[in-house]
Every structure is written in structure tokens, then in C-alpha cells.
């Protein structure tokens, strides 16, 4: 072997070692973040019937409104609860300012959530490294819908006394609520449902094909290393070409660079192998199915009867407008509203997938109408009205 080849190997090995050490440091820094908004959710814990502990963070209003039900904010796949709090003037603060008690959750496999017992303790240590946890990544969206959601509702009821909640979910956080409402024996516990960029049907498109290929590549990479934690050094520097992946998440024109750095450093998590397999089927067939393939959630959207608000971004490639329209039109709720955000609707810019929460314009253009919609449906609101008396709104353009 030539001296040049040996030098090249030493450089490559040194680079790998440096990146691994840097990734380990970035993985462990979340618990030491300078602000609570960037740390895992540890104000309380919900316990699922299948052995998971879910971290929860509570935002209390300065002037609580007793006529308003609590709000649960649920993040999407491969993220954690800080998804909602890495920007200024974020949605939890705006909701609290309007009198709502807010619960931000870390779903299974993310943030402060972990399995109970010895395995959970071991994995909590591994989660502070670039290594994958042991036997902790095979959960599916179905398990989140059937175990995590009831555990969170039970926690909120015990903590606040409210037996119903307003559920606000982004991406998979909305999709799993669709699955929950289709299968639960107690749909009445969800008083109102707000879905930002979560669809049960994905229409044919070039982006859908690209996402399918990207999902399969991610599944292969996840078998070797923790993709969420190995990517955290990207908060410091990002390599050329990464924008081809980033475009699925956000649009550079709408989201501040500081928000993107926090996304990589504090919010990104392992998606979970079981959930990625389920996502593979979703992107391949165009319908959201249960992990065992027996239930097609897209075929039973009429079972979703809770008052529902869909929020869609005109530039969202993960939940594009055609997919949103098909899902929205299939909902069985007598009270459903669709709000679209983009230039054609008079907004500052076209919103992408995570722009709906992260955009510098969202605190002014998206959050106020979202909260107004909730306000009109609270049991103690002066403008509330009975579910069966509500007219069916036309599509909001």
C-alpha cells in the first residue's frame, strides 16, 4: 500500500472518529440545553398499557379560561416535543396566552420517553450516544394510536380534571389521531381535532416516488446507526446536497437558519424501524394501512366524527393539496374546515410541511386563525354551539 493510500485511510478513520465523538456530544447536550423549550418533556409522565413511559411538558396560562378544554400538541415521525418550541412566539405560548392549558408530548421513541424496566434504563443511556437502542425501534403508528393516545388522555384528565381535550397533531401526529378516532371505543374524548399536514391518502406524484426511495434508504441506514443522533452535528455545519432532503421538511425562504439548527440539534429523532416499514407501505400504495395490513384507514375516514380543522400548505410535498383534499373530503365529521396557506390565498408565501409551525410568518398568519377555530368550539365559549347544530363550512381558500 502506498504512503498516500495509508495517509488517506488515516484521514478517513480520523474523520469518522471525530464525527462520532461530535455526534455523541450533540446527542447528550439536549438535557443540558440553555432553555427549557429545547429540552425533553419532563414535567410529567404518562404510562401506556404496553410498557412505555411518555414525557409530557405543561404550559400554564397566566389567566386560565375555565371554559376552555386543554390542548395536546403531538409531533410527527422522527421528531420530538421540541418540534413545537424551537421558534419564537411559538404555538404553545400563543395558546396559553388565550387561556388554554397546553400539554406537549414526547411520543414513544423520542425525547424523554422510554420503556419501563431494565431495558428502558439501558436505552436511556444509549440514547445519549450515536448507537441504536436495544429492541426499542419496532413500534408502529398503530401502537401510538391504541396505546400512547389513551395514556396521554388519562394523564391530562388526572392532571387537569378534563375528560376531553383539543388534539393538535402535525404530520404523523395528525395521522395517528385519524387512526385513533377510527378504532377507539371512546371517540368523545377528542372534543376537537386540528390536523396540520397529516393525510391518510397520498396522491400519485413525483414527490411521492422520491419520498419512497428516501424512506427505503433511511431504513437501510437506520440498521447501522442512529440516524437522528448522528445527524445532530449538522446543527453546526451542513454539507452540500442536503437541501434535496431538507426540501421535504421546510422551505428555506420561510424558516430561519436558527430554527433549522435547533431542528438538527434538539428535535430530530430516530423514526423507528416499524414505523418506517408502515410508511413504506403508505407511500407505495397511497393509502395509510395498519402495520399488519388488515385495516385501510383511508377507507374508513367516515368514522372520524369529531369537529376537525385541516391546515394545509400550498408547497407541502409530504402532504400536498391533492392528498389533503381527498382525505378531507372523506372525513365523516359534520363540522370540518380546511384552511390553505399560500400566496394564492393572500399569505406572504407558500407554506411547506414544517413551515406550518416553523415559518417566521406562522405566528401571525396560521396560529391566530387556528386558535380562533378552537375558541368557537369550546364548551364554555360565548360563541360555541352544539355539535349537531353546526353548519358544514365550505372549503376555505
pLDDT tens profile 212-222: 998 898 888 88
Written in H, E and C, the secondary structure of the chain is: CCHHHHHHHHHHHHHHHHHHHHHHHHHHHHHHCCCHHHCCCCCEEEECCCCEEEEEEEECCCCCCCCCCCEEEECCCCCCHHHHCCCCCCHHHHHHHCCCCEEEEECCCCCCCEECHHHHHHHHHHCCCCCCCCCCCCCCHHHHHHHHHHHHHHHHHHHHCCCCEEEEEECHHHHHHHHHHHHCCCHHHEEEEEEECCCCECCCCHHHHHHHHHHHHHHHHHCCCCHHHHCHHHHCCCCCCCHHHHHHHCCCCCCCHHHHHHHHHHHCCCCCHHHHHHHHHHHHHCECECCCCCCEHHHHHHHCCCCEEEEEECCCCCCCHHHHHHHHHHCCCCCEEEEEECHHHCCCCCCCCCHHHHCCCHHHHCHHHHHHHHHCCCCCCCCCCCHHHCCCCCCEC
Predicted confidence at residue 369, as pLDDT, reads 98
Which of 14-28, 269-283, 297-311 shows the lowest per-residue confidence on average (mean pLDDT)? 14-28
Quote the pTM value. Answer: 0.89
> pLDDT tens digits for 39-79?
999 999 999 999 999 999 999 999 999 999 999 999 999 99
Burial class (CB in 10 A: 0-12, 13-18, 19+), 213: exposed
Interatomic CA distance for residues 316 and 249, integer angstroms: 8
By the 8 A CB rule, do 58 and 44 touch?
yes
Q: Which residues contact 12 (CB under 8 A, 6 or more apart)?
A: none
> pLDDT tens digits for 226-248?
777 777 778 877 777 777 777 88
C-alpha cell at 350: 407558500
Per-residue pLDDT for 382 more than 60? no
Predicted confidence at residue 9, as pLDDT, reads 53
Per-residue pLDDT for 314 more than 70? yes
> pLDDT tens digits for 10-33?
544 444 444 454 544 455 677 788
Which of 34-38, 87-91, 364-368 shows the lowest per-residue confidence on average (mean pLDDT)? 34-38
If you average pLDDT over every residue of the chain, what do you get? Answer: 88
> pLDDT tens digits for 97-139?
999 999 999 999 999 999 888 877 887 777 777 777 777 678 9
CATH topology classification for 3-389? Rossmann fold (3.40.50)
Predicted confidence at residue 185, as pLDDT, reads 97
14 phi/psi in degrees, rounded to 5: -65, -40
- Residue-range domain boundaries for the chain: 3-389
Range 288-295, long-range pairs (CB < 8 A, 24+ positions): 288/141, 288/175, 288/178, 288/179, 288/199, 288/200, 288/201, 290/140, 290/142, 290/179, 291/140, 291/141, 291/142, 292/142, 295/182, 295/183
Predicted confidence at residue 235, as pLDDT, reads 81
Per-residue pLDDT for 267 more than 80? yes
Q: If we measure between CA atoms, which residue out of 343, 321, 324, 334 comes closest to residue 377? A: 334
pLDDT band of residue 312 (cuts 50, 70, 90) is very high
R_g (Cα) of the chain, nearest Å: 21
Per-residue pLDDT for 266 more than 60? yes
Interatomic CA distance for residues 112 and 41, integer angstroms: 6
Average pLDDT over residues 281-290: 96
Phi-psi sector, 171: left (phi>0), alpha (psi -120 to 50), beta:
left
Q: How many CB atoms sit inside 10 A of residue 122's CB?
A: 16
Comparison of pLDDT for 18 and 342, the residue scoring more: 342
Q: How far is CA 326 from CA 24, 123, 283, in A?
A: 43, 40, 15
Predicted confidence at residue 28, as pLDDT, reads 60
Interatomic CA distance for residues 394 and 397, integer angstroms: 9
Per-residue pLDDT for 389 more than 50? no
72-108 burial, b at 16+ Cβ within 10 Å, e below that, comes to: bbbbbbbbbbbbbbbbeebbbbbbbebbbbbbbbbbb
Amino acid at each position: 500500500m502506498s504512503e498516500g493510500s495509508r495517509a488517506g485511510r488515516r484521514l478517513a478513520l480520523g474523520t469518522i472518529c471525530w464525527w462520532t465523538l461530535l455526534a455523541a456530544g450533540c446527542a447528550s447536550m439536549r438535557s443540558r440545553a440553555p432553555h427549557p423549550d429545547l429540552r425533553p418533556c419532563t414535567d410529567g409522565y404518562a404510562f401506556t398499557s404496553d410498557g412505555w413511559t411518555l414525557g409530557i411538558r405543561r404550559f400554564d396560562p397566566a389567566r386560565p379560561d375555565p371554559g376552555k378544554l386543554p390542548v395536546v400538541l403531538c409531533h410527527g415521525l422522527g421528531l420530538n416535543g421540541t418540534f413545537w418550541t424551537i421558534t419564537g412566539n411559538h404555538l404553545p405560548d400563543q395558546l396559553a396566552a388565550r387561556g388554554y392549558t397546553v400539554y406537549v408530548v414526547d411520543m414513544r421513541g423520542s425525547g424523554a420517553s422510554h420503556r419501563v424496566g431494565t431495558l428502558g434504563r439501558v436505552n436511556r443511556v444509549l440514547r445519549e450516544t450515536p448507537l441504536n437502542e436495544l429492541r426499542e425501534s419496532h413500534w408502529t403508528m398503530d401502537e401510538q394510536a391504541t396505546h400512547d393516545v389513551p395514556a396521554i388522555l388519562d394523564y391530562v384528565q388526572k392532571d387537569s380534571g378534563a375528560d376531553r381535550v383539543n388534539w393538535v397533531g402535525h404530520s404523523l401526529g395528525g395521522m395517528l389521531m385519524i387512526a385513533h378516532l377510527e378504532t377507539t371505543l371512546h371517540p368523545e374524548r377528542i372534543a376537537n381535532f386540528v390536523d396540520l399536514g397529516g393525510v391518510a391518502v397520498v396522491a400519485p406524484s413525483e414527490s411521492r416516488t422520491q419520498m419512497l426511495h428516501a424512506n427505503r434508504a433511511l431504513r437501510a441506514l437506520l440498521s447501522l446507526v442512529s440516524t437522528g443522533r448522528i445527524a445532530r452535528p449538522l446543527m453546526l455545519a451542513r454539507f452540500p446536497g442536503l437541501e434535496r432532503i431538507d426540501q421535504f421538511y421546510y422551505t428555506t425562504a420561510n424558516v430561519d437558519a436558527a430554527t433549522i439548527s435547533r431542528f438538527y440539534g434538539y428535535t430530530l429523532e430516530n423514526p423507528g424501524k416499524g414505523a418506517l416499514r408502515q410508511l413504506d407501505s403508505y407511500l407505495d400504495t397511497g393509502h395509510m394501512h395498519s402495520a399488519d395490513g388488515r385495516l385501510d384507514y383511508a377507507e374508513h375516514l367516515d368514522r372520524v366524527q369529531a369537529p376537525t380543522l385541516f391546515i394545509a400548505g400550498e408547497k407541502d410535498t409530504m402532504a400536498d393539496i391533492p392528498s389533503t383534499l381527498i382525505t378531507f373530503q372523506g372525513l365523516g365529521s359534520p363540522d370540518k374546515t380546511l384552511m390553505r396557506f399560500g400566496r394564492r390565498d393572500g399569505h406572504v408565501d407558500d407554506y411547506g410541511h414544517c413551515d406550518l409551525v416553523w415559518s417566521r410568518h406562522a405566528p401571525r398568519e396560521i396560529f391566530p386563525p387556528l386558535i380562533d377555530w378552537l375558541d368557537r368550539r369550546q364548551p364554555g365559549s360565548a360563541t360555541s354551539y352544539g355539535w349537531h347544530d353546526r353548519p358544514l363550512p365550505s372549503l376555505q381558500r
